[in-house]
Structure 1
Amino acid sequence: MMARTSPPAVLSAPSTTGLIDAHGRTIRYLRISVTDRCDLRCRYCMAEAMTFLPRSALASLEEIALIAERFIARGVTKIRLSGGEPLVRRDVGELVARLGGHVGAGLDELTMTTNGTRLRAHAPALAAAGIQRLNVSLDSLKPDRFRFITRHGDLLQVLDGIDAAREAGLGVKINAVALKGLNEDELGDMLAWCVDEGHDLSLIETMPLGAIDEDRVDRFLPLTGVFETLAARFPLVRDSHRTGGPARYWRVEGSTTRLGLISPLTANFCDGCNRVRLTTEGKLYMCLGHDDQVDLKGVLRDRGVTALDDAIDLAIAAKPAAHDFRIGIGEGPAVTRHMSVTGG
């Protein structure tokens, strides 16, 4: 069983050595992909015929928990669970409950990114386990367009899941990838809907990760122009709000809604990066746009939990100054792995 009321001292005792990379950035944020699988096939994220990792290659939920707890002991204060779609992994609720037990005891916040398809069934348990906020991926409010982008998704199912999350007391932020010629005409309407519903909205530029069936150049929409269009329709005021992620925020005056812009291509955000990512294979990637990684699952299996600190230190020391995302004709993906492997 994963549940544990009193973790061994080696996991729970704080370390006097924090996680500071070679560029002076303190690492306080761990993103964890609990599975590379998903029940949707969004066109900008995955190929239609995906080959997923064999289950034998995955880290167990117990191993993920042990690694995450070592990061908490080293000063990480925020963890986000993601995928793929994290709620497709069986018994993921046990991992959520175990990590949720650290909220207020080293961990400031435990969050999850989800596509919303399974929230009706899972939202109450997520709230009870210690999650207070969800990021829900939603790229269109038009049913036919939503189905086209996701290849087979049901918009009403996702909207019902968002309602379930709100009923459970969970905060919801909507994540939408801005896609040229696909959803750019409704981004203003999505922000208006978020204002009406009381959600925050983050818009994201498409990222060149993994091979897909379409050319990302055709869909790349710079957020600089999107912001200008939105600012002409909404009273946007710069907001100092930070969630630990890369978004820059504005508030829609007269509402509780914040608009976040995540611009990896037009506005590099690497100078303040405080994040590392643990894959479902138990590999730690120090940057979304680089292939350098340290196999923490291998260290844990071969040498035990006490060896994790040295491996984590090795990884943090190798964190690069910046990614090198480029998008253009003839440019392939920045890395071959898909976003679902590394975690969003």
Structure 2
Amino acid sequence: MLQDNHGRQFYYLRLSITEACNFRCQYCLPDGYQGPSADSFLSKSEIQTVLSAFAGLGTSKVRITGGEPSLRRDFTDIISVTANTPGIKRVAMTTHGGRLAQKAREWKAAGLDQVNVSIDSLDPRQFAAITGQDKLKEVLAGIDNAAEAGLDVKVNTVMLSQFDEKRLTRFLGWIKDKPVTLRFIELMQTGEHEGFFNHQHQSGQPVKEWLLSQGWAPLIRRKDAGPAQEFYHPDYQGKIGLILPYSKDFCQSCNRLRVAANGNLHLCLFSEQGLTLQPYLRENDIQGLQQYLQKVLVSKEATHHLHEGQTGATKHLAMLGG
């Protein structure tokens, strides 16, 4: 089992397979993608080496991220490789949802269990302004298709400064009869967007207090769950999740590690440049990679340093998929 010096065990791998994305979200890639080409990213065989090494050390959940992972032509194959790796029990992905309506059933058949879709507004004009794409209708259709295909659907919403009670009420009305988990995420500072963060960040703590006052109750976390605090209400089919990275003791329950699309291991979303795994990946050296992972994990810090404005090497969230 992968365990650090703070007693935390790591069941959950976030695996980025590309940095590319064709949306232009204000808080991530407002000028569009201008990063490395596709040949800079992990090959399918290298991905298999990563998966086998982590699974052999107790990892049971893998989230495939980007950028936008579905931009890879071999994405369905990557889902299948992940789902068929011994020890991996749950396969998730994070997506902007632009291809979900056409691909949900195909991805489910390949072994996908869960999909997280980014929707920062249910107003079509505001959605287009935030993402640079007038595709809210297609994304919402994709969510319906994903649920019908049997996928566990979560919707991610980044809380920006214009996030108000009216917008919250609209989202709550949307999940009244829709069996999805709606997760509100505090905006996190990244290296290229300090000014945007200073202007747009707002705490999610008032939202949590409001939910509790309205009869929402906490859910028990799964062992391989991500960082969200989840809540349910008997009058709603949907659930609410809150990801509050600036809250006290946020990192105490950390159970996830990250491998970037370039093959670097990141012990934290906001750590420094990352630790290259390429010598092991080139040689398909699973045992050597496992020994290396166990060795470097002891240096994982107890917490991130976002409160001090230290964002590490994360220039934008597309680098590591959040």
TM-score range, shorter chain: over 0.9
The percent identity for this pair of structures is 34
Q: What CA deviation, in whole Å up to 9, does each residue of 1:104-123 have, x standing for no partner? A: x4222111111110012211
SS in 1 for 2:106: helix
Does the CA-based 8 Å contact 1:47-1:211 persist in structure 2?
Answer: no
SS in 2 for 1:201: strand
Q: Flag the 1:142–1:21 CA change in 2: closer, same or farther, 3 A.
A: same
TM-score (norm 2): 0.93
- AA of the residue aligned to 1:152: Q
Q: What CA deviation, in whole Å up to 9, does each residue of 1:36-94 have, x standing for no partner? A: 11111110122314421233321212201211111001110111011111101111111
1-structure distance, mates of 2:155, 2:272: 29
2-structure distance, mates of 1:131, 1:59: 20
Shift of 1:303: 7.4
Does the CA-based 8 Å contact 2:270-2:311 persist in structure 1?
Answer: no
Q: Which residue of structure 2 aligns with residue 44 of structure 1?
A: 27
Does the CA-based 8 Å contact 2:10-2:257 persist in structure 1?
Answer: yes
Q: What CA deviation, in whole Å up to 9, does each residue of 1:155-195 have, x standing for no partner? A: 01111111221221212111111111256630222122122
Does the CA-based 8 Å contact 2:52-2:286 persist in structure 1?
Answer: no
Q: Which residue of structure 2 aligns with residue 301 of structure 1?
A: 282
TM-score (norm 1): 0.87
2-structure distance, mates of 1:277, 1:260: 21
Q: Which residue of structure 1 aligns with residue 151 of structure 2?
A: 170
Cα RMSD (Å) of the superposition? 2.1
Q: Flag the 1:191–1:315 CA change in 2: closer, same or farther, 3 A.
A: farther
Taking the TM superposition and a 5 Å limit, the aligned residue runs for 1:41-190 are 41-102=24-85, 105-182=86-163, 185-190=166-171
- Count of paired positions: 321
Does the CA-based 8 Å contact 2:175-2:237 persist in structure 1?
Answer: no
Q: Which runs of 4+ in 1 moved over 4 A?
A: 331-334
Aligned with residue 194 of structure 1, among 164, 168, 175: 175
Shift of 1:126: 1.1
- AA of the residue aligned to 2:5: A
2-structure distance, mates of 1:292, 1:315: 14
Q: Which residue of structure 2 aligns with residue 244 of structure 1?
A: 225
Q: Flag the 1:276–1:184 CA change in 2: closer, same or farther, 3 A.
A: farther
2-structure distance, mates of 1:92, 1:219: 34
Does the CA-based 8 Å contact 1:35-1:280 persist in structure 2?
Answer: yes
Shift of 1:309: 1.6
Does the CA-based 8 Å contact 1:284-1:315 persist in structure 2?
Answer: no
2-structure distance, mates of 1:287, 1:211: 18
1:341 matched to 2:319? The reply is: yes
Report the more deviating stretch, 246-255 or 132-141: 246-255
Shift of 1:215: 1.8
Does the CA-based 8 Å contact 2:264-2:278 persist in structure 1?
Answer: yes
Unmatched runs of 5 consecutive residues or more in structure 2: none
Shift of 1:265: 1.3
- AA of the residue aligned to 2:215: P
Q: Flag the 1:288–1:159 CA change in 2: closer, same or farther, 3 A.
A: same
Shift of 1:135: 0.9
SS in 2 for 1:281: coil
Does the CA-based 8 Å contact 2:15-2:260 persist in structure 1?
Answer: yes
1:285 matched to 2:266? The reply is: yes
- AA of the residue aligned to 1:343: G
Q: Flag the 1:241–1:311 CA change in 2: closer, same or farther, 3 A.
A: closer
Q: What CA deviation, in whole Å up to 9, does each residue of 1:302-321 have, x standing for no partner? A: 57333212221233122111
Taking the TM superposition and a 5 Å limit, the aligned residue runs for 1:208-227 are 208-212=189-193, 215-227=196-208
Shift of 1:99: 1.1
Q: What CA deviation, in whole Å up to 9, does each residue of 1:224-271 have, x standing for no partner? A: 112334445x42112223352111121122333221110001344111
SS in 2 for 1:74: coil
2-structure distance, mates of 1:311, 1:169: 38
Unmatched runs of 5 consecutive residues or more in structure 1: 1-17
SS in 2 for 1:202: strand
